[in-house]
Structure 1
Amino acid sequence: MTSQIPSTDVLKSQAKRLRADLASQGKAVSHAATLEMVAHQWGARDWNTLSAQASAPTHGWTPGDRVSGNYLGQPFKGIVKAAKLSGSGMWSLTLRFDTAVDVVTSPHFSNLRRQVTAVVGADGISPRKTSDRKPHLALDPR
């Protein structure tokens, strides 16, 4: 197989979504059975084989972690208030800034934010971009 196998967290999320989809079609399946189905989709003999081959867990964030970076082009330091990994490997992060960040570039007015929620990849970079093609949120590497 040429694709890199994602982390077990991502694989388990796939199994959870598969189970929900099957249930919506009236097909009750156990979580263990959907783990086996996901393993077969990835070309593995069974779940244990796949989980042993899975990549290391993606870079993760947990509430309380200190972070820094740029939000809408403004540098910040803050804390992770909430973090959730999606099945696609993206993270939804709620950040609380130590000092409010001005999210407006106009010299005529300001809009200060102390807390934001954004989606980032495992690299800490938001896929959403500003009009000048810079990411909304870019976390500094740890």
Structure 2
Amino acid sequence: MRTPAEAKAQARTLRRALAASGHTVSHAEALELVAHQNGARDWNTLNARLMKEATGHVPLHLNGAVRGRYLGQPFTGRIVSLSQKGDGYAIAIQLDQPVDTVQFASFSNLRRRINGSIGRNGRSAARTSDGFPQLIVERDGGRT
């Protein structure tokens, strides 16, 4: 299975097969069963993974839970601003916990909000000195 459309088709097939054997399930329940069969926690997680694999696009939305790395530091947070910018997005993320953007022991710089630009793949074009994207954003399927 490579796309959300294929997963939905599999759910319809599963639903018909179960109905034929006397087990009635809703379409939503069939989607959840397909997600579990494919190693995902739920349909939303599977759908996001398939969308990203099929299109290279990380599906993001305002107030959506996200996780990622900023200047090499892991974070979780919520999108507070999102707008189309060229072939990507201008994004602002309110962090759940402040992130220290300085890697020196002698001082720190705690950030509570990140503003940046990312491509449709969730990665910034700007790089750190070691070559990694300054900002990497993914949907956080474990949070609502």
Give the TM-score band, short-chain normalised. Answer: 0.5 to 0.7
Q: Alpha-carbon deviations, 1:102-132, whole Å to 9, x = none?
A: 0001110000000011100111001100111
Q: CA deviation at 1:83?
A: 0.1
CA distance in 2, matches of 1:97, 1:59: 19
What is the percentage of aligned positions where both structures have the same residue? 32
Q: Which residue matches 2:132?
A: 134
Q: Which residue matches 2:64?
A: 65
CA distance in 2, matches of 1:102, 1:67: 18
Alignment of 1:23-102 (within 5 A): 59-86=58-85, 88-102=86-100
Q: Letter of the aligned partner of 1:61 in structure 2?
A: L
CA distance in 2, matches of 1:59, 1:110: 31
Q: Which residue matches 2:115?
A: 117
Question: 3-state DSSP class of the match of 1:140?
Answer: strand
For normalisation by structure 1, the TM-score amounts to 0.56
CA distance in 2, matches of 1:132, 1:84: 28
Q: CA deviation at 1:60?
A: 4.0
Any gaps of 5 or more consecutive residues in structure 2? 1-54
Q: CA deviation at 1:59?
A: 4.2
2:124, 2:134 within 8 Å by CA — same for their partners in 1?
Answer: yes
Q: Which residue matches 1:108?
A: 106
For normalisation by structure 2, the TM-score amounts to 0.55
Deviating above 3 A after TM superposition, structure 1's stretches of 4 or more consecutive aligned residues are none
**Count of residue pairs brought into register by the alignment:** 85
Any gaps of 5 or more consecutive residues in structure 1? 1-55
CA distance in 2, matches of 1:59, 1:105: 28
CA distance in 2, matches of 1:76, 1:101: 7
